[in-house]
Amino acid sequence: MNDTTRESVVAALQSDYRHLDTAHGYYNEKGVGQAIGISNFDNEPEIFEDIMENAEI
């Protein structure tokens, strides 16, 4: 799952997509983080969204 997530997020970032949604329940945090780490961002604003369950707060 994380390989697919990473590749998808890298492709989205290369297409100038800047709103990334991640949550523990999606099990995509690692892949999203890896994609962000290997992507070259310019100075445009990015939006990263993380959803937490009440038990996690």
What is the token pair recorded at 53?
């369950």
Asked if the model's pLDDT at residue 1 lies above 90, the reply is: no
Spatial CA neighbour of 45 closest among 18, 16, 22 = 18
Distance CA 49, CA 39 (A): 17
| Residue 56 token pair | 């996690």
pLDDT of residue 48 exceeding 60: yes
What pLDDT shows up at residue 20? 82
- pTM attached to this predicted model: 0.70
At residue 21, the 3 state secondary structure works out as strand
- Closest among 52, 49, 50 to 18, alpha carbons compared: 49
- Structural domains in the chain (count): 1
**Domain of 52, in residue numbers:** 2-56
